[in-house]
Amino acid sequence: MKFGVVVFPGSNCDDDMIHVLGTVLGAEVHKLWHKDTSLEDYTSEDCIILPGGFSYGDYLRAGAIARYSPIMQSVISFANNGGKVWGICNGFQILCESGLLPGALVRNRDQKFISKNIHLRVETTDSLITNKCSKGQVLKMPIAHAEGRYLTDNQGLAELHANDQILFRYCNSHGDLFSDNGATDYIAGICNKGRNVFGMMPHPERASEAILGNTDGLVLFQSLYSSVLQSV
């Protein structure tokens, strides 16, 4: 299994992601430029990462321009053919803008940028990035976003629950649901119905090394990597 990390103008978490995947996890990882148009070297066993940052300065709407970068048509085709795609923070926003994930990410409830450590609760272990977790497990990770409030209508929310697509919800350190940004149903991360596309606002790559004082995020990378290797 190998990883490709897409770099857009304004990405700022691509090197963090490459470090965790390559140095900490020991996986093969490559940078992909947003103007690339082919993913022919990647198979359904591989994973494309859309990292955090502020692609195109978040003009118009976070992720709205990046969604039209040349590489995104290949990413969409890759996902539709079973390839794994994981968007974190700005990457989550791009996935929603591209239609690979349902719902939208909008301005935080109090119209303020939020940058701090938060807690999130694992809502399902039936996903490639949570299968090494326990349902109800509380993880601590940083967030850094102004447009991180997940929004969906009642029908969309019902479908997410019915299909077990909610991966994480914001909570306090005891696991009680709580959110600073006002997300619908406290949602912090979801997957698609096919369970091969994942999106989340918190940053696991910033919580994956002891030197950072937090390794809670590492389990998500380990879940994905080991699951795919075992299936090959």
Which has the closest alpha carbon to 37: 6, 83, 3?
A: 6
- 93-129 pLDDT, tens digit per residue, is 999 999 999 999 999 999 999 999 999 999 999 999 9
Which domain covers residue 195, as residue numbers? 2-231
CA distance 161 to 18: 32
Which has the closest alpha carbon to 7: 39, 36, 41?
A: 36
CA distance 138 to 152: 24
| Structural domain count of the chain | 1
- 166-203 pLDDT, tens digit per residue, is 999 999 999 999 999 999 999 999 999 999 999 999 99
CATH number of the CATH domain containing 149:
3.40.50.880
Catalytic residue annotation: 89, 203, 205
Match 């102004």 to its residue by tokens: 146
Q: What is the pTM of this model?
A: 0.96
